[in-house]
Amino acid sequence: MPIKNENDTLKRRSTILDLLEKQGDISVVSLSKIFKVSEVTIRNDLAKLEEKSLLIRTRGGAIKKVPITYDFSLNQRLNKNKSEKQKIGKRALEYIKNGDTIVIDSGSTTLEVAKNLNTFKDIKLITNSLPIADLAADFNGVEVIVPGGILRSEMRSLVGPMAERSLMNYHCDIAFLAVDGIKVNDGIYTPVIHEATLCRVMMQISKKVVVVCDSSKFLRKSFVKIAPITDVDIIITDAGIPPAEKARINELQVELVIV
């Protein structure tokens, strides 16, 4: 291959990866138009990039190779993207009012939501998170309700059939969920089966569902899908959200709040 053609090919493939990083997916037809080359050439590019594990080919195009998230302890999560989580936690307060019954999932971002509940009066807080329950126990205006269940020691949270049955007895104004991965076209994810099931119950018993997560969770999957994005009312995140994911959320008419 002549040097010029080889350089053009390398540059084109590099640009394809850049586009995938921004958009998450792309089609052979659109790439052919962008680079003014044949669809056969683009398919060859995608095949070569897939051989290097840089993308995943699909029918008619390619998608970004999505990292799989794994389960980490609460202590490992606490200081990761802490500033963003604190801002998200404070912004979540706008959706709470005095007298509300709220349910809060376990997680480092939901913990930041709970830290601000001392500004409210007559709040009923249901949570499966022992750190959140312990924190809120000192707030005069908050009544804390903790379901029974199996203790997940790494997250200090209660899960399982007992926790699920307990939650089904309540009706909540709003649920705050933490997630380990979001792909807008797929849904919200967690690495633990019991956690996913409990989150679904929280969604079922609540009038409004709010997902709180920093932007590093986007374009990621974890082991278990909790629900599609369309089952969520509001997503609160930071400005690092990928543009294509932001656009898709708006298309689906899910409220997106960026701090």
Sheet holding 123-127: strands in order across? 142-145, 123-127, 101-104, 172-177, 206-212, 234-237, 255-258
pLDDT at 3 (0 to 100): 46
User: What's the predicted TM-score (pTM) here?
Assistant: 0.73
Domain boundaries 3-64, CATH class: mainly alpha
- pLDDT of res. 50: 86
pLDDT for 28 equals 95
CA atoms within 13 A on the CB side of 146: 18
Looking at residue 75, what is its pLDDT? Answer: 46
pLDDT score recorded for residue 230: 97
Using a pLDDT cut of 90, give the percent of the chain over it: 67
Q: Which two tokens stand for residue 227?
A: 């629900």
| Predicted pLDDT at 179 | 94
Q: Are 154 and 192 in contact (CB under 8 A)?
A: no
**Distance, CA of 127 to chain centre:** 19
Residue 256: CB atoms within 10 A of its CB come to 17
Closest CA to 143 of 123, 163, 128, 129: 123
For residues 253 and 235, the answer to whether their CB atoms sit within 8 Å is no
**pLDDT score recorded for residue 68:** 47
User: What pLDDT sits at residue 66?
Assistant: 60
Smallest CA-to-CA distance from 213 within 196, 231, 189, 247 is with: 189
- What is residue 140's predicted lDDT score, i.e. its pLDDT? 94
**For the chain, domain boundaries:** 3-64, 74-258
Instruction: Report whether CATH 3.40.50.920 matches the domain 74-258.
Output: no
Reading the chain (259 residues) residue by residue, the pLDDT tens digits are 444 577 788 889 988 988 887 777 889 999 999 999 999 999 999 999 988 878 888 888 988 776 544 444 444 444 566 889 999 999 999 999 999 999 999 999 999 999 999 999 999 999 999 999 999 999 999 999 999 999 987 778 999 999 999 999 999 999 999 998 999 988 999 988 899 999 999 999 999 999 999 998 998 888 889 999 999 999 999 999 999 899 999 999 999 999 9
pLDDT tens for each residue of 163-196: 999 999 999 999 999 998 999 988 999 988 899 9
Query: Residue 91 in contact with residue 176, Cβ under 8 Å?
Result: no
